Structures are given as structure tokens and as C-alpha cells.
Structure 1
Amino acid sequence: MLYIKNGTIIDPKENRPYKADLQIENGRISRIIRKEGEHFKISADALALAEGKDSLSAVRQDNAALAEGKVIDAQGLMIAPGLADTHVHFRDPGFTYKEDIYTGAAAAAKGGFTQIVLMANTKPCVDNEDTLSYVLAKGKETGIHIASCVNVTKGMAGKELTDMERLSERGAAGFTDDGIPLLNEELVREAMERAKKLHKPISFHEENPAFIVNNGINRGRASAFYHIGGSPGEAETDLVKRDLELALLTGADVVIQHISTKEAVELVRRAKEKGASVHAEATPHHFTLTEEAAIEKGTLAKMNPPLREEADRLAIIKGLKDGTIDLIATDHAPHSREEKDRPVTEAPSGIIGLETALSLGIRELVEKGHLTWPELIERMSTSPCRLYGLEGGRVEEKAAADLVLFHPQERWTVSEFTSKSSNSPFIGESLPGVVYYTICGGRIVYKKA
């Protein structure tokens, strides 16, 4: 039994947050007790009501439970469904010096995430049953929910499709060769058709290498600063256009990963208007930063696709506002300090994001008036859970007790990370939104020290 009292609930089904107490039993929300006024304080009668008890001795037992830490006073805190990130790299197996499933899950819990969907570009990659079973079994030991995509093609070579049906039976959440674009149009079409039959999303890394001289840096001011060719927006839009046409043709649930250009956002908007079952991810770094960060921060702001121009950043925010972009995903991509210390053309692309995502969403989207609280949580929890068929994304009676409790105004300075890696361009920044508790299945999996 766990009580959470005096909190402010954010439920995407509601137009605005509301004050309530929560009662949690057997891993689920058993009772929501709405409260009038801004400063409701739990009473013995309220505790008795929550338990369905009417005896003084029962109330005293509950008050004793409070002293044992079984009641959380959430005064000043917002309570939202646990966040869900459907684009994460935990580097396990094969690159565990950067991150492993245990450290990645701990970083996720600290950031308020209870649902994680892993990418499949590990070593070995997740194109077979054994590797998938390894990842899922290890994920069950973490305290949060860990799902995993599997590869679209064997060995991520782009030539032969994996046994999508068998891997789906073994628990694959979806399909992707994230990190490597798929260039064979006929193969992509077949993969979409098979994914549709399996009722699983299929996600695409949209960067055509034919357009790219140096990846990770935008062709523009940033590439000129480094005297390199860089990566133009056309690399993204070329493949996005192809895959949206195939999405319309096949009816598959297609995800455009980490969208970065205004042109791609508009293409997705038009495809949705035509009835395509297409989804798009926005990363916190793409709705927060521009290529100026790559000039200022160097390799800490190098990622694929790269940070673009201000017009692109604003188009992504507009896409989040009007629902063109329905997923916020971190693309959490840990790398060692030694790797990121290499020259800009040699360092790997990617940044970590699980521990800063909520704060950046608050600062850039809610505080600046682009999204309401329910809209932010919809894109960071409800929508990703819905797409991948995951339980979560709701604060309602009988729902799973997967929750994040955070103070929306309290600030923290980005410094040390729970992740093994620290490759973030936000180091040193003061951000709003401090996570106090992450609860998964009714269990506290993170508590602010």
C-alpha cells in the first residue's frame, strides 16, 4: 500500500492539472481522491476513506505507515504518468563501457522514465532471438519496463530482412535499423508490409549518405566553421519523402525518427492529412538547439541528424504543437569521453538525454507557452505507449502505478550523471523540473537524495 497525498495530477485526458491524492495497491492505482482548493492536507478521515476503513485503529495503522515512508507528501509536486522513451541506446551488448542496461535504466528512472524501448544497433545487433532474449531478460532486472526493437535487416546490412514474424513472437516491440538508413526501396516496402501484418511500428533513420560529406554537422554555418562539407537537410527529406509515400501505400505504422528539418515536418504533416499512419519523433536537442551549439560545444553537440537552423527548430516546435510530431524521444546515445575528445570529423555522433529530457520539455515547450502540461505528457508518455502497445501513459483508477513526481519550478544544474557517459551539450546549465520520485509498478525506483 502506498499513498501519495497533496499532489497535482497531470493526465493527458484532462484539460488541466488537478489536485488529488492517490492510493496504490498491488502495483496499480486503486483510488484517486480529487481535492478542492490549492493546499489540501490529508486527514485521518481521508486516509480511512482511501482504505475503505471506518475504524480509528485502522487510521492509526495508516498514520504509522506514513512514518515508515509508505505515504508520500507531494505538496508542490506534479504527478504524471511515468515517461516513455521509444528511442534509446543502452549499448548492451557490445559497448558496455559507454552504457549498459543497468546504468541506462538507472539514468532513465532518475529522469522520470518508466518505459524504455531500446534500439537494436548493439554488437551483436538484435537481429536474432538470442540477443533479443538477452536484452529483455536483463531489462526485467532493472525495476523499470525495458522493451526492445529488433533489426529490419540481418546484420543491419540493408540486404536481407530478418525473421520479423519469429522475432515479433519473441517479444520485439518494433523494427528498426536505426543508425543506418535503408536505401533499397523494394526491401523497405516489403518490411513495411510485414510490419503492418504484425501490428508493429517500423522506424527509419532518414539520412541518405549520397548527400553527406561529413555527418553530424549541419551544412551551413557549422560546416563552414569547421571547414568541412557537413550534412545538408536534403539528406533527410529525400528519404522521408520516399518512406511517407510507402507508408501511404502499405498502411504501416511508420515512425520518422529524430526529425530535424522544416521540410520533413511539412512532409509528415501532408502525409497525415492524406491518411498515412505515420508518426514523427522530436528530440529535446532538436527543439532546443541549433547548429550554433555545434560551433560552441564542438563534438558534445554532434549528432545524426545534426542540429539545424533556427527555422528548423521552430518548425519542430510547431509540429509538436499541432500534433504533426506526436513523440518526444531522446535518442539517448552514450559515448565515452575519449571518443568525444576526438576531432569533429572523427568523434562519434550522439548525446545522452534521459536525465535532461523532462527539464528541456518544461523550459522550451511549457514555460514558453507552446504546449500545455497535458500536451507535454501526451508526447512524452501517452502517445509513445499507445504506439508501441505499452501499458502506461495514464493516471486513472485501475491503471498501472507507473508515475513520475516532480517539482516544475525547482531548478537544478546539469553536472554529474547517473549514466556511465556524460556527453551532453547541456552541462553547466540551470534547468527547471526536479524529479523527486519515479514509481514503477507501485514501487519507488528513484527517490531524490
Structure 2
Amino acid sequence: PNAMRSIDCGGKCLAPGIVDVGVKVCEPGERHKESFRTAGEAAAAGGVTTMVVRPDTEPAIDSPETLQFAARRAADVSKVNVLPMAALTKDRAGKEMAEIGFLMDAGAVAFTDCDFVNRNNKIFGRCLSYAKMMDAVVIGHAQEPVMSEGTCATSGPFASKLGLPAVSVIAERIQLERDMAMVEMTGVTYHVDQLSAAASLPVLERAKAAGLPVSAGVSIHHLTLNELDIDGYRTFFKVKPPLRHEDDRLAMAEAVSAGLIDIISSMHTPQDEESKRLPFEEAASGAVGLETLLPASMSLVHAGHMNLVTLWRALSLNPAKLLGLEVGRMSEGAPADLVLFDPEKPFVMDRYALKSRCKNTPFDTRRMQGVVLRTFVGGEEVYAR
């Protein structure tokens, strides 16, 4: 047809747009860190066509009214699709179950208290049972809270050398064991958002072998960085859970390649300069990642850890399947959410060139490969380089 536009993609990759589960957008409450507008621009520039956003805002997204406010704001100003998650408990405090049914009616695609871990098994079990009854997806965080409290590094000689309060990787395994037992009890569809330790993988493997409805994710930072990166007390490398040993990083990459870990996400967490320019123990945790997710992920392909098909399954298809979305695939009738990128093109990351309002990336000045050329949402071009 005359209206059809042709784009020469010779030598480049055209793939389904990335579905990023666990993005923090600081609306309501902290728009000075990130708004739906700036997050949408960053996502489009990073090839992310669907942001699944966390409810750890101020106030928390724990009521239909707050969720609808966030959804309306996103629909008005974001260049990409935005799907809100809701808190599992009111104010993410673990004391009272949120209105799961009403929140689902309002558009919540999953339920999570983010990095708050509920130690009250009775309340947590009740939440999971109700979520199962409502056919809702629950996303959990596997860090035993008592062991993890007040820590900012992974136990071992390196943390001792720096004099930082540290937590054993076993804290992750302990919490994962508890969560898998609760899934066995309730039958809820459960996703663990940020596995980071090799010690956790046998627990996940047993749960999947037993047929439990579980999946797991890993952040791009735990796939591409390790504890040595915090040398010099560099707070832009302070994330939660803390960066692990190199053996853990390699085990995570192998688990993604083998299909044991299902999803890779950016865990985009904007923090302003003031909250990062503090002593390491006091500095805020988190890093932005919407614009670095694709090139950082491509480093796993270039290093031979996995092929491009496996990578894209973890970035797009699997997160879409977890949440029952039609996106994440290139087939007749599927939404035309696409990213065109050059997998080989090198560049040097410049944090000041990021479209995110906050610039707290650990990849600043790093040589990377993989440049987004165009991004399409619903067939409409939302980014062009």
C-alpha cells in the first residue's frame, strides 16, 4: 500500500520489545527522581516496550485509587506500555492484606511487597492463599530479613577488607526455602525477582522438578558485575541484594542459559546524587537500568554465556508469559512492539547522556556493545537514533 513505510534493517537485529519486570517509577511521591514521562523516554531509548512497575512508591500502590492514578499518569505521558503491580499488603508493611480483588479489577498485573520480606508466615500464607483463589501472580524477594538487616556487602574476605557489614549468601537460600514451602502449601503462581547466589539454585531446581508453579528472575547487575566492583566504596555499585562473588555471577549466567532462571530484568531504581554521595553504608541502594539493560545483556552473548535466542527469551517472551501478556513474540496478530538494534556496534556509556532523570548507573565510562536504533510500540515509532 502507498501508506506503507519501508525501513532497511540490513545487518541489524529486529526483535520483540523488552518486557522489563520490576521497574521503579517514582510517581506518586518522588517525581524529582523519575516520572512516567522520563522513565518512558528512557525505556524507549533502551528498547523496553513494556515496563512492569513496582508499587514501592510514596505512598505505596496498595489501593485501587492509587493504582488508577498511576495508570492514568502513565497512559497520559509514557511513550511505552506501563503495567502496574500492586502491594501484597497495605503499605507494604506485612500486617494486613491489600484488597487483591479490587486491585486486580483496577488493573494490577501482579502483587509484590518488593524488598520487604514478611516474616509472619500466617499473614503471608493467607495472602498467598487468597492470591491463588483470585488467580493472581505474586512476586517475592528472597532475602532473609533478620540476617540481611543493616548489611551492604556479601560475606567474605573482600567485604572484611573493606570493613563493611556483610550478609552470607545463605540468607537468600533460607528465604527461598521458606517461600517454596509456602508455594507448596498454597499453590499460588510465584516469581522470585532477584536471585543472586549459586547456593539458591538447587532449591529452585527442586521446586521446579516438583512441579510447583514457580519462576525466577535475576537482575542484569548480578549477571554482569561482582563484589569487586564496590572497591573504593563506589556507591553507584551498591544494589540490593549486594553484588556477589564471581562464582555466583557465573552460576547465574549459566542458570539463565539452562532455562532454570527465567527472566532478566533491569530492576531500574533511580536514586539522586545526594542519596548516593554518602558513605557506602549510608548510601541508598539501587541503580538505573532501562537504557543499559540491552547492551549489558549483550555482553553475556559476546562472552559466550548464552545465545541471542536464549537471551531474548529471558528479556521478552518469559516475562510476557508470566503475566499473561500478548507481547514478547513476533507472530501474526501479536502487538507490533519491536526493537531494532545493532548487536555489534561499540560505544562508551556516558551517564549524563541517559534520559532517566537520575544518572546512577554502574556502567558509566564502560565500553559496551549493542545500540538501539529504533523502538516501536503498537507499530508506532517511539524512538529513533
How high is the TM-score relative to the length of structure 2?
0.96
User: How far has the Cα of 1:296 moved from its partner?
Assistant: 4.5
Aligned to 1:388: 323
- Quote the Cα distance in structure 1 between the aligned partners of 2:80 and 2:172: 33
**Secondary structure of 1:138's aligned partner:** helix
Question: What pairs up with 1:85-234 in 2 under 5 angstroms?
Answer: 85-141=20-76, 142-212=78-148, 214-234=150-170
Q: Residue 291 and residue 440 in structure 1: after superposition, are their counterparts in 2 closer, same or farther (change >3 A)?
A: same
Aligned equivalent of 1:402: 337
The residue aligned with 2:178 is: 242
CA drift at 1:200? 2.1
* 1:228 Cα deviation after fit: 2.6
Q: Which residue of 2 aligns with 1:309?
A: 245
Moved over 6 A (4+): none
1:251 counterpart = 2:187: yes
Determine what percentage of the aligned residue pairs are the same residue: 32
Q: Which amino acid aligns with 2:63?
A: N
2:150 partner letter: N
Written as runs of structure 1 = structure 2, the 5 A alignment for 1:433-444 is 433-444=370-381
Q: CA deviation at 1:215?
A: 2.9
Q: Do structure 1's residue 361 and structure 2's residue 297 form an aligned pair?
A: yes
CA deviation after TM superposition for structure 1 residue 297, in Å: 6.0
Among 237, 258, 277, the alignment partner of 2:213 is 277
- The range that moved more, 433-442 or 199-208, is 199-208
Query: Which residue is equivalent to 1:347?
Result: 283
Aligned match of 2:256: 320
**1:424 maps to 2:361:** yes
Contact between 1:107 and 1:417, CA under 8 Å: does it hold in 2? yes
Distance 1:213 1:151, change over 3 A: closer
Q: Aligned partners of 1:108, 1:406: CA distance in 2, in Å?
A: 14
Match of 2:231 in 1: 295
Query: What is the aligned residue count?
Result: 382
- Structure with higher Rg: it is 1
Q: CA deviation at 1:105?
A: 1.1
RMSD across aligned C-alpha pairs, in angstroms?
1.4
Partner letter of residue 45 of structure 2?
A: K
Check the 8 A contact 1:156/1:177 in 2, yes or no.
yes
Q: Structure 1 unaligned runs (5+)?
A: 1-50, 52-60
Cα deviation digits, residues 224-277 of structure 1 (max 9, x gap): 233132222122111111001111222211111111111112211111011111
Q: Tell me which amino acid in the other structure corresponds to 2:49.
A: T
Alpha-carbon distance change, 221 to 110 in structure 1, aligned in 2, over 3 angstroms = farther
Q: CA deviation at 1:71?
A: 2.3
Unaligned runs of at least 5 residues, structure 2: none
Q: CA deviation at 1:447?
A: 0.6
* Aligned match of 2:201: 265
SS at match of 1:405: strand
Q: How many Å apart are 1:213 and its aligned residue?
A: 5.2
Task: Tell me if the contact between 2:152 and 2:164 (Cα under 8 Å) persists in the aligned partners.
Answer: no
SS of aligned partner of 1:109: helix
Please give the secondary structure, in 2, of the residue aligned with 1:412: strand
What does residue 13 of structure 2 align with?
Answer: 78
Counterparts of 1:251 and 1:75, CA distance in 2: 47
